A = this chain, B = another copy of it.
Amino acid sequence: MVKNIYPWQKVNGGVSAPLGFSASGVKAGIKNSTKYDLALIFSEVPANSAGVFTKNLVKAHPLLLTEKHLQKGTARAVIVNSGNANACVGQAGDEAAWQMAKVTAEELGISPEEVLVSSTGVIGQEMPMAKVLPGIKNVVVEVKKLKAEHNELVLAEHADRAAMAIMTTDTVPKELALELKCSTGTVKLGVMAKGSGMIHPNMGTMLCFLTTDAKVDSLKLKELLKEAVDRSFNMISVDGDTSTNDMVVILANGQAGVELQGTDWENFCKMVDFACCQMAMAIARDGEGASKFLEIKVTGAKTLEAARKIARSVCSSSLVKSAMYGQDANWGRILAAAGYAGADFDPAKVDIYLNGLQVAAEGQGLRFSEEEALKLLEKPDILIELRLKDGSQEATAWGCDLTHKYVDINANYRT
């Protein structure tokens, strides 16, 4: 992040950075390992809340419960486990999700309807409740301790644990906290996320939880979240291709005591947008088996929808992804993937650039130095630009290459 070009600043503390929030993670043994696998986010007061959920017809049990609990527009806690998706297990799954909300609520002294539940991991296996429920008790104990201690460093460390506890095949935790100085005070935003397999990114679960001490009503919150998700998480996935468990949730508890208006409100929306894009990029960068980070930028499109479709189509083409892994400037595959995106454009106008090197002009290949191209494609970050010269709309999608390691990971995920 370059300094000073944004009105906000990076701060420590992850999802616990905003006032009135605390979070922690514990090792409940759901993963059968020594890894963190159960996270809790807690707000001292009821927080206005909104969520965006998977469009898959097959929805995980905790997701259905969380959708229900969000209908009233407020929540106080989010309990999340990794290691088991609690999906496709029938009534036992609904019961398990409800038990998770109930026990979390009992331990925290709040109502079960104030608890949001989320799970990620293998589909179709019953939740090991004998491990989950004691885990919930432990994580609540940790969070209560934090409240008593009031130590910012400890608070931040436990937020890290929460970010670790929601990981599955992620190799690094993904979290961020930002601070925005407004005319009447300061508001903070915290976020943690987890990623997934990257060919059909949304098939592995994508989770993201945002906290803020700004005061925003739940309708506005829903609107702003939807827009941010369209620009970020939906640009690392193909429309309609979503997992059974995908969920993005935001909690706004108003504890900063700041009303957001005019420029402050605009900046706040941009900050949420920025945080979601940072998480989306972190997920793409950490795609299963990824060796390269791909950014696909489409400019000059007739419509925003066309720009997005084309960026996503190039980003999710296995042939483009394989070529980037092989450091092969195969721009033909890029143009072909744009061609089947289902968006209108004129192929005979398109210019293509790979890390700044123009490889095609007006839909045709240019003679470029293969040596120079190879040097540019050896870099771990690849920017693929398509200039359509058809209009003024643009969009960016993020992804990663397709590697041998991806196949390793996914051939034996369940066993």
Contacts and interface: CB of A to CB of B under 8 A. Distances in A.
Interface of A: 55-58, 85, 87-90, 122-125, 197, 199-200, 202-204, 240-244, 317-319, 322-323, 325-326, 328-333, 335-340, 342, 344-345, 347-348, 360, 362-365, 402-404, 406-408, 410-415
A200 B339 contact: no
B200 A57 contact: no
A378 to B, nearest CB: 14
Report the copy number of this chain in the oligomer: 2
A415 B332 contact: no
A371 to B, nearest CB: 12
9 contacts: A57-B344, A87-B336, A88-B364, A88-B365, A124-B335, A203-B333, A244-B339, A322-B410, A326-B412
A360 B124 contact: yes
Contact of A241 (B330, B340, B413): B340
Identify the 4 closest CB pairs spanning chains A and B, nearest first: A123-B332, A326-B411, A322-B410, A58-B339
Contact of A318 (B325, B326, B332, B410): B410
A204 B411 contact: no
Contacts of A244: 332, 336, 339
A332 B85 contact: yes
Nearest to A361: B90
Contacts of A403: 407
A326 B408 CA distance: 9
B411 A338 contact: no
A180 B337 CA distance: 41
A347 B58 contact: yes
Given A200-B317, A203-B319, A335-B58, A402 B407 contact: yes
Given A123-B330, A244-B332, A404-B407, 7 more contacts: A57-B338, A88-B347, A124-B360, A197-B319, A203-B317, A240-B340, A323-B414
**Which secondary structure dominates where chain A touches chain B?**
loop
B323 A413 contact: yes
A342 B56 CA distance: 8
Given A88-B364, A328-B414, A340 B55 contact: yes
A317 B244 CA distance: 14
Nearest to A328: B414
Contact of A325 (B124, B411, B415): B411
A203 B337 contact: yes
Contacts of A411: 322-323, 325-326, 328
A333 B197 CA distance: 12
Contact of A338 (B58, B364, B414): B58
Contacts of A318: 197, 199-200, 203, 318, 410
A96 to B, nearest CB: 13
A311 to B, nearest CB: 15
A367 to B, nearest CB: 10
A329 B408 CA distance: 16
A302 B208 CA distance: 35
Contacts of A243: 336
Nearest to A339: B58
A351 to B, nearest CB: 12
A348 B363 CA distance: 47
Nearest to A319: B203
Nearest to A318: B199
Contacts of A55: 340
Given A335-B58, A340-B240, A88 B410 contact: no
Contact of A404 (B87, B340, B342, B404): B404
